[in-house]
Amino acid sequence: MRKLRVLLVGAAFSADLHSDGYSRIRDKAAIVGICDKDLDRVRALAKRYGFEDYAAYDDYETAIRDCDCDLVDICMPNFLHHDVAILALQRGRDIICEKPLATTVEDARDMVDTAARLDRRIYYAEDWLFAPAFRKALAILRSGQLGRPLYIRARECHSGSHSPFAQSIRYCGGGCMVHLGVHPVGFMLALKENRWRELTAMTSGGRAKNLIHRAMEGEDWAGAFLRFEDGMTATVEANYTTVGGMEDVLDIYCEQGCIHVDLSFSGPVKVFSIPGLDYTVEKAEITTGWSTPAVDEKYNLGYCGEIDHFVSCALAGTDAQVGLRGVDGLETLKVIHLIYRSAREGVHITNDRLEA
């Protein structure tokens, strides 16, 4: 069977998440190149996952020019997504791009337009859509057994990004809403095929106005209300004020039932440790006392399913499912920028692109 040849660009946190996915489908995908300006990270990543026949690069322009691959997987800081994507698309490669698609709507639109013009595909890495627990919730919802969904509340929150790039809007594109809220927003838009009708939002505002992170240019608290074309409403929330580990929570309220999913804190394993464990769940500050260590965390957060889906699509030459295409990354970023506008100007925004 033909294997998809993948060039990984970036060898840090998200490259690790994706690599776990590739390492489980070695019959379908081969890592043929890894690029990071820090070559120690390249070597460490390859060693961790047993990637052997790959070329190492410390410069993405050289990597994209020289590496004989089918797909470029972009695991770089947000502000580099656009430039790396355009180079890869022009070189005739499909791309996987981490969230957010870009730091500005203009850059994201340029990526989508360039891919369309060159007949290439963008696979937008929204892992929430492949988290098995969220998929189970959606399957129950779609079965109709709870009646019509009326209201969904979704949030991703933790105590602050590990990335120095997250401190500045120029590098990140915003604060916690673009960094974390991108997941619940993308998830809700996918569920409703991007047919949102109106939104209104508040954020902490950034810098001195923030609740905790006053050196951070972007906001550390943000929430938005959305209404969709079919009348369903949603609250999406993101913050950097949540301690104890990353919260990924989904609450779905229907006419005849409800569903509650706690993706990151629920699990079958309970541990009490006096000295503390080396790891429990993503972003947990301490690991002493009672904890619920994640079981196969990368799989359960959706990264493995997402990579498997993208590799299968790229091998077959097809688009990803709704929510995971370049256009979905673009719509998610547009909505996030409208959330920022609503919060900044105190205005309620309607989607004038939705035909009456």
Ligand X SMILES: NC(=O)c1ccc[n+]([C@@H]2O[C@H](COP(=O)([O-])OP(=O)(O)OC[C@H]3O[C@@H](n4cnc5c(N)ncnc54)[C@H](O)[C@@H]3O)[C@@H](O)[C@H]2O)c1
Position 323 contacts ligand X (CB under 6 A) = no
Applying CB under 6 A, among 8, 31, 75, 95 the residue interacting with ligand X is: 75
Position 248 contacts ligand X (CB under 6 A) = no
Applying CB under 6 A, among 23, 163, 200, 233 the residue interacting with ligand X is: 163
Cβ nearer to ligand X, comparing 87 with 327? 87
CB of 219 to ligand X, least distance (A): 16
Position 103 contacts ligand X (CB under 6 A) = no
Position 18 contacts ligand X (CB under 6 A) = no
Cβ nearer to ligand X, comparing 103 with 210? 103
CB of 59 to ligand X, least distance (A): 6
In 3D space, the residue among 219, 228, 226, 218 whose CA is nearest the CA of residue 195 turns out to be: 228
| DSSP strand pairing (221-228 vs 233-239) | antiparallel
Which stretches of the chain are DSSP H helices? 13-23, 39-49, 60-66, 78-90, 105-117, 132-143, 169-172, 176-179, 182-191, 297-300, 303-316, 326-345
Cβ nearer to ligand X, comparing 58 with 230? 58
| Residue 1 DSSP class | -
| C-alpha triplet 295, 297, 301: angle, nearest 5° | 130
CB of 253 to ligand X, least distance (A): 26
Q: How many CB atoms lie within 10 A of CB 132?
A: 15
Position 326 contacts ligand X (CB under 6 A) = no
Position 60 contacts ligand X (CB under 6 A) = yes
CB of 147 to ligand X, least distance (A): 32
CB of 81 to ligand X, least distance (A): 6
Contact 117, 335 (CB under 8 A): no
Q: Which two tokens stand for residue 69?
A: 């691959």
Cβ nearer to ligand X, comparing 11 with 327? 11
Site stretch for ligand X (CB under 6 A), options 73-81, 222-230, 258-266, 330-338 = 73-81
Position 14 contacts ligand X (CB under 6 A) = yes
Helix 105-117 vs helix 326-345: angle between axes, to the nearest 10 degrees?
Answer: 160
Cβ nearer to ligand X, comparing 85 with 137? 85
Give 190-195's long-range contacts (Cβ < 8 A, gap of 24+).
Answer: 190/126, 190/129, 190/322, 190/323, 190/324, 190/328, 191/138, 191/152, 191/323, 192/228, 192/229, 192/230, 192/232, 193/322, 194/327, 194/328, 194/331, 195/228, 195/229, 195/230, 195/354
Position 10 contacts ligand X (CB under 6 A) = yes
Position 41 contacts ligand X (CB under 6 A) = yes
Give the position of tokens 């972007």.
218
Position 12 contacts ligand X (CB under 6 A) = yes
Site stretch for ligand X (CB under 6 A), options 48-56, 76-84, 192-200, 261-269 = 76-84
Residues in 170-229 at the binding interface with ligand X, rule: CB under 6 A = none
Give the whole-angstrom CA distance, residue 11 versus residue 29. Answer: 17
Give the whole-angstrom CA distance, residue 237 versus residue 234. Answer: 10
Window 125-144: contact mask with ligand X (x via CB under 6 A): x-x-----------------
Cβ nearer to ligand X, comparing 14 with 264? 14
Position 98 contacts ligand X (CB under 6 A) = yes
Give the position of tokens 């913050």.
239
CB of 79 to ligand X, least distance (A): 9
| DSSP strand pairing (71-74 vs 196-203) | unpaired
In 3D space, the residue among 340, 335, 339, 341 whose CA is nearest the CA of residue 353 turns out to be: 335
CB of 128 to ligand X, least distance (A): 9
Q: Which residues bind ligand X (CB under 6 A)?
A: 10-15, 35-38, 41, 60, 75-78, 80, 98-99, 125, 127, 163, 165
